[in-house]
Structure 1
């Protein structure tokens, strides 16, 4: 599995890229208050979900593919919440919501994943 960098560094980088117009986010389907970015990180496909409010990234969850387990797709995940928004349950909400979005998005490809 590709190594995940410190998710806090990813949050800062994501905020910078968003602020400077280097990335364009798409709204999620089930949770339209959450945004998603599908991109490639140095040869590794990556799915980043984010809660963004007024141009401020409150938190991110970053998924990268890993080796299958028992024949089922597997993803590594790292997440971070901006200091200002910590201790409010945002990380838990971000993970729960992003997993629901992935289940919806992959529904025609596979039923289960790790």
Structure 2
């Protein structure tokens, strides 16, 4: 399980400085959201949907390809909110907007049927509430293969 909160500060700085390694555009649906495309590894394309208030990052969701689910493409969601903006409801809004943005982006590429996945530490109450609200009940309670930490796994099927 990768902690998406680790790169928060560097991401905020990179977006505000208009880092040339990032492709940044404003959401067509809500100008407080920015869609950022990059390749953290040569074989990995990452989508980050971030909400800003001016230059202040309110939070983001990072979306990366993961192992197929039921033979269909799947994409992992990982979200984080800076400490100063927690418990304000931003994260749930950002996750919901990310689902919409990803559906729109993939539909333009001809992908209409896919899965979204979230892996959340079982003691992270705030993120589990968001996952249940956005994805539904967890499909699995197990242990993370990398850290060994207990996790809940959530899936959401998107059909276009």
- Range into which the TM-score falls when normalised by the shorter chain: 0.7 to 0.9
Aligned to 1:14: 11
Residue 9 of structure 1: CA displacement?
Answer: 1.3
Q: Deviations over 1:49-107 (max 9, x none)?
A: 10111211110100000121122210111111111111111111000001111111112
Superposed, 1:1-114 pairs within 5 Å as 4=2, 6-22=3-19, 23=22, 25-43=24-42, 44-108=44-108, 109-114=110-115
Verify the 8 A CA contact 1:65 1:75 in the aligned structure 2: yes
- In structure 2, do the counterparts of structure 1 residues 30 and 71 end up closer, same or farther at CA, with 3 Å as the change threshold? farther
Tell me which structure has the larger Cα radius of gyration. Answer: 2
Taking structure 1 as the reference length, the TM-score comes to: 0.86
Structure 2 distance, partners of 1:75, 1:95, is 13
Taking structure 2 as the reference length, the TM-score comes to: 0.63
Verify the 8 A CA contact 1:18 1:24 in the aligned structure 2: no
Which structure's relative contact order is higher, taking Cα pairs within 8 Å and 6+ residues apart?
1
Verify the 8 A CA contact 1:31 1:101 in the aligned structure 2: no
Name structure 2 gaps, 5 residues minimum. 116-160
- In structure 2, do the counterparts of structure 1 residues 46 and 24 end up closer, same or farther at CA, with 3 Å as the change threshold? closer
Aligned length: 111
Relative to its length, the structure with more strand (as a share) is: 2
Name structure 1 gaps, 5 residues minimum. none
